Amino acid sequence: MKPGDSLIHVLPRELADKIAAGEVVQRPGSAVKELIENSIDAGARSVTVVLKGAGKTLIRVTDDGSGMGWHDALSSFSRHATSKISSHADLDAIRTLGFRGEALAAISAVSSVEMKTKRAADEIGTRVHVEGGTVRVHEKEGCSAGTSVSVRNLFYNTPGRRKFLKSDRTEFRHILDAVQRAAMSRPDISFVLISDGETILTSEAGDAASRVRDVFGTKQASTLIDFSDRTGPLAVSGFLGRPRLARKGRSEQYLFLNGRPIVSRNLGHAVYRAYEHLLEKSSFPFFVLFLEWDPEKIDVNVHPSKVEVKFEDENLVYRAVHSAVRRALGAQDLGADLALQAGGARGDFGRETEGFSLAQLIGEPSPRPSDPWGPPPGGAGITSDLFTPDFAARETGTPPAGPPTLDRPVWQLHDKYIISPTPEGVLIVDQHAAHERIIYEKAIIRFESLQVESQELLFPQTIELSPADAALVAELQPLLEKLGFVLKMFGARTLILEGVPSDIRPGSESTILGDVLNLYREDEQRLKLNPREQLAKSYSCRAAVKAGDRLGNAEMTSLIEQLFRARVPYVCPHGRPVMVRLSLSELDRRFGRTS
Ligand code: ADP
Ligand code: MG
């Protein structure tokens, strides 16, 4: 290298834009989010999203908002070009969804974008075509008032990013989530989503209640508790799921601040705490919450995707949300929910709560959330090598001792553990973990097998799916069928369940599919496994006997028999131990026997 050569140089604009683009648009869903936000900011009364190939081929967002003039249409594609703020002072009180002036620049750096736009007062509109950051066309064009932005071939010039995209089904579900959240945030705007010619969602402008019905389906909406609380410094309103309909995951929690969809662990925790004694362990309430607060007391400029916010007084907001939700729940007769839980696996609940009012039960909020929000995400070390035999050897040091002789007695302890003598001591098996392991291995085998084992339902069930569940079912249908579910889609959102896998226990036929889908969704967010493993895990967890299920002798014997035929009998698919063995010598030692 010649002396004087400098190592540091400024990146060419196009490269810099590509890099910046990665922060704003990670996937088709984020492009959809940004485009819808622009439409909302432009005062649209109606927004239509059209997709081809899960947004990889085409995303078109059309609105009837303000439109742009000849010059603005072009400059909207420049980086940091925005009409929404112009000074530092504006940044302190942002009322629009956008303000960074990055989205159109970012999207057009990594795709081919065609914009048609016209202001109502103008005779003629403008068409701009930008490809890979380069302006190809800027011309007059006749079009209707408003703006239509078509994004084609997203990430065509960043093959790394394009390769990183998930299956169409998965990308579609991210888009659906973005549209649902946008639609929930502004019930006064009508929304339409069309994907590959199929209408997925249509919702006329209305109020929050009608929007909830359109987005989540009439059935789910009818069970929600709606409330509005304007007593505190912060206006809180929304819809709360009944405790008994709590989900295993947090994916169905919708939080909006001044009409902006946000995520906040802290506020999620505030709601969770308000439900505290009403929920079973590790289940999370469904909620849609609208918060309204002085924009000057909020900083939304903390993250490029603008979903995180900072509050001037985090504690105050926490307390306001907590008590509003608590009051809303306290005003409800949740007797049915409580009774249901008291009879469930955690049977200690009913007695403890007799004679207490719900308000007493729920308790006062602590000023500062001291415990983290629920159990930490991510199971312990769940990897696919769990499935290899040497994992078992590593875990326990010894190979299986072989099945206990089967005419040996078995006992059930607290409807939770199975106990059986073995030649060298005693075996204690966790019934749920054991069954989970057995079903998990069966599921993996079934995915590969050509034979399908299924039990026909005497009365086929019609299940109304939310759009998100419908999309998930479509994605998983081949695998679900291999497991033994017999399903027929009837239109876009209705499913007819005609059969279930043969190892489903009687009584849970009607709920198993929904349970499996919920758990799948939760696991998917934290575990990032392939769909097969993910589904095998959620299916086995939901189909297995639970702690609290009374088992007959034959059932226990068969469980232990099957367990010892499993490839990895020692750990459940989540990595928890399945069995504990106590040897006679260990017992002798404990009892002080020296022999
Ligand atoms: P930001 O939204 O942060 O301002 P964008 O890159 O998303 O940045 O948009 C740049 C500008 O283009 C906006 O500030 C707005 O003036 C204009 N614009 C974008 N989309 C629309 C639309 N659908 N209707 C009217 N104007 C729009
Ligand atoms: Mg924007």
Q: What is the pLDDT of residue 249?
A: 66
Q: Please say whether the beta carbons of 33 and 24 come within 8 A.
A: no
For atom 12 of ligand 1, the residue with the nearest CA is 76
Q: What is the pLDDT of residue 347?
A: 29
For atom 14 of ligand 1, the residue with the nearest CA is 82
Q: What is the Å distance from ligand 1's center to 160 Cα?
A: 27
Q: Please say whether the beta carbons of 381 and 394 come within 8 A.
A: no
Nearest CA to 560 out of 434, 413, 442 is that of 434
Q: What is the Å distance from ligand 1's center to 188 Cα?
A: 20
Q: What is the pLDDT of residue 436?
A: 92
Q: Which distant-in-sequence residues (6+ apart) come within 8 Å of 83 by Cβ?
A: 72
Q: Kindly give the number of the ligand 1 atom that is closest to the alpha carbon of 100.
A: 3
Instruction: For residue 20, give the 3-state DSSP assignment.
Output: helix
Pocket mutation for ligand 1, best pick of 17, 49, 82, 306 (most atoms within 8 Å of C-beta): 82
Q: What is the Å distance from ligand 2's center to 100 Cα?
A: 7
Tell me if 98 CB under 6 Å of ligand 1.
yes
Closest-approaching ligand to the CA atom of 77: 1
What letter does residue 83 receive in the DSSP assignment? S
Pocket mutation for ligand 1, best pick of 60, 75, 104, 116 (most atoms within 8 Å of C-beta): 104
Instruction: Return d(Cα 282, Cα 437) in angstroms, integer.
Output: 21
Q: What is the pLDDT of residue 432?
A: 94
Q: Kindly give the number of the ligand 1 atom that is closest to the alpha carbon of 106.
A: 6
Secondary structure of 318-384 as H, E, C letters? HHHHHHHHHHHHHCCCCHHHHHHHHCCCCCCHHHHHCCCCHHHHHCCCCCCCCCCCCCCCCCCCCCH
Pocket mutation for ligand 1, best pick of 41, 118, 119 (most atoms within 8 Å of C-beta): 41
Q: What is the Å distance from ligand 1's center to 41 Cα?
A: 8
Q: Please say whether the beta carbons of 73 and 126 come within 8 A.
A: yes
Q: What is the pLDDT of residue 390?
A: 29
Q: Please say whether the beta carbons of 205 and 213 come within 8 A.
A: no
Pocket mutation for ligand 1, best pick of 38, 100, 110, 126 (most atoms within 8 Å of C-beta): 38
Q: What is the pLDDT of residue 252?
A: 81
Structure tokens of 34? 């940004």
Instruction: Return d(Cα 428, Cα 419) in angstroms, integer.
Output: 5
Q: What is the pLDDT of residue 449?
A: 82
Q: What is the pLDDT along the chain (595 residues), one digit of tens a residue?
A: 555 577 777 777 777 777 766 667 889 999 999 999 999 999 999 999 999 999 999 999 999 999 999 999 999 998 877 777 777 667 666 677 777 778 999 999 999 999 999 999 999 999 999 999 999 999 999 999 999 999 999 999 888 888 888 889 999 999 999 999 999 999 999 999 999 999 999 999 999 999 999 998 888 888 899 999 887 778 999 999 987 777 766 668 899 998 888 888 889 889 988 887 677 667 788 999 999 988 778 777 666 666 777 787 888 889 889 989 988 887 776 544 443 333 333 322 222 222 222 333 233 333 323 222 222 233 322 222 222 222 233 333 333 444 444 567 889 999 999 998 887 788 899 999 999 999 998 898 888 888 888 888 888 888 888 888 888 999 899 999 999 999 988 888 899 999 999 878 777 777 889 889 988 888 777 666 788 888 999 999 999 999 988 998 888 988 888 888 877 777 788 777 888 888 888 889 889 887 6
Bridge partners (DSSP) listed for residue 271: none
For atom 20 of ligand 1, the residue with the nearest CA is 38
Q: What is the pLDDT of residue 393?
A: 31
The model's pTM? 0.61
Q: Which distant-in-sequence residues (6+ apart) come within 8 Å of 417 by Cβ?
A: 428, 429, 430, 431
Tell me if 353 CB under 6 Å of ligand 1.
no
Q: What is the Å distance from ligand 2's center to 82 Cα?
A: 8
Q: What is the pLDDT of residue 350?
A: 27
- Own/partner pairs for 16-21, CB < 8 Å, 24+ apart? 17/79, 17/105, 17/106, 17/109, 17/133, 18/109, 18/110, 18/133, 18/157, 18/158, 20/79, 20/102, 20/105, 20/106, 20/109, 21/105, 21/106, 21/107, 21/109, 21/110, 21/158
Closest-approaching ligand to the CA atom of 44: 1
Instruction: Return d(Cα 178, Cα 96) in angstroms, integer.
Output: 17
Q: What is the Å distance from ligand 2's center to 260 Cα?
A: 13
For atom 7 of ligand 1, the residue with the nearest CA is 103
Q: Which distant-in-sequence residues (6+ apart) come within 8 Å of 173 by Cβ?
A: 468, 471, 472, 475
Instruction: Return d(Cα 171, Cα 182) in angstroms, integer.
Output: 17
For atom 23 of ligand 1, the residue with the nearest CA is 39
